[in-house]
Structure 1
Amino acid sequence: MNELHATDRFSDRVADYVRYRPDYPAALLDWLKNEHGVDGSWDVADVGAGTGISAKLFLDAGHRVVAVEPNAPMRAAAEQWLGSNPAFHARDGRADATGLAGASIDLIVVAQAFHWFAEVATRREFARILRPGGLAVIVWNTRRLDGTPFLEGYEALLQHYGTDYTRVAERYADEPRMRAWFGAGFRGAARFDHGQRLDFDALKGRLMSSSYAPAPGHPQHAPMLAALRELFEATAVNRRIDFTYDTRAYVGHLS
């Protein structure tokens, strides 16, 4: 984790992250409610909350949410966006050192961040802050890699131009690994369809929100954007492309 600079690698990408990263499907909330008994009275800790995308989903469902985020620019963006809601609070903290009181949280949410965490220390910290009967849910929007010319071309573009794309991409966990992490407390997994329809400017912003995309000034930045434009022109329908995901969620108790 340290060699990938997990805490600060998004600091120069906050604006693109806020504008162009996808949200999470409402079906996730329905699944947590109908299958696992989660309702709006549950206090939520969104750990690795970033700019607040996942926090907003739970705020809108009536939860009180504390966003735990170590990256100061991302945390500031979340506070600017959501801070007027009295049910929202943001704090500086890490997954293995949240600073939250013991047995103070009903539901821990980790959206698009678990692969940056130190898993053993994080499990210990999550078990400490959860109330008896509380749950943790680990969520990823996993970009589909094939199935359309755009998706296949975009994956090839990242493989060619991404600065450390392979190392980051390989860090997403699958169900066997999540079962092992939860251990006997594992309670279920789900998959939901999700996606964005993007024009070229939004597609460019979505690409530049990724930490492995060469930034302006890098010798690969301009060639990458030229390749992105070529891909868009070849695959767009009505000046839009479908950027599709499988949203995967894993839930369980920790002790």
Structure 2
Amino acid sequence: MGAALDAGYRHLDTAAAYGNEKEVGQALRASGIDRKDVVVETKIWISDYGTEETPRGIEKSRAKLGVDQIDLLLLHQPLPTDFDRTLAAYRALEDALSTGTVRAIGVSNFLPEHLSDLLEHTHVVPAVNQIEVHPYFQQRELEAMNARHGILTQAWSPIGGITSYGGGQRRSFDDPTLHEIATAHGATAAQVMLAWHLQQGRQVIPKSVHVERIQENLDALNLELTAEELARIDSLETGVRSGPEPASLTLAEHGRPIPEA
């Protein structure tokens, strides 16, 4: 995290379920960068959904991050088997927004049916829906729905790192089309994928533990792809989700205690 801040990143994405909020806060303070110049984003896990549970979850995240105000706070997943609990959690986010505890609120991994239900029963339209998006899984219908409601699509695993997990599936990093486009620009496949997202209006949350790749990812801001190249990347869609299926998430199977600060 410190290397990313040194390189020039000013948006930090974390989550209660990642177990690294405290370290993110420490890196931010150690950087010496003015707090107002960095966007800190985190997420509430399903174990802390509920009228009483979510406010406590927010306080746990604030304490671990060491911030007075969270810039962007999301619900990490929908909970389809108990959507009333999801709605209660989002209403707690709305309350935190009204008191200034957070600057903006949103959701993550919400499918169209989850968004429709949320919008029908709450007041504040999510600022962001953070979802799995990469060349092999593009979720165009969901992105279009986000856009209709003024919700920013934020891509997690934007360079398809999630495709590297599990056996037998295609890895985006190995794709010949992406490598051909990258070669034409003297770039990497990862940079090509990031440029594809940015030119199509999505925000990206790339992840790396390698200092040189952290800088390479940032350099994608200088890469301009042609309309033909963008269309070639669009054609790589497989329709196969590599991450967890949001519609099948349950508290019994996926819930786990989020410790105090």
TM-score, reference length from structure 2 = 0.35
User: If the length of structure 1 is used for normalisation, what is the TM-score?
Assistant: 0.36
Q: Say which structure is richer in strand.
A: 1
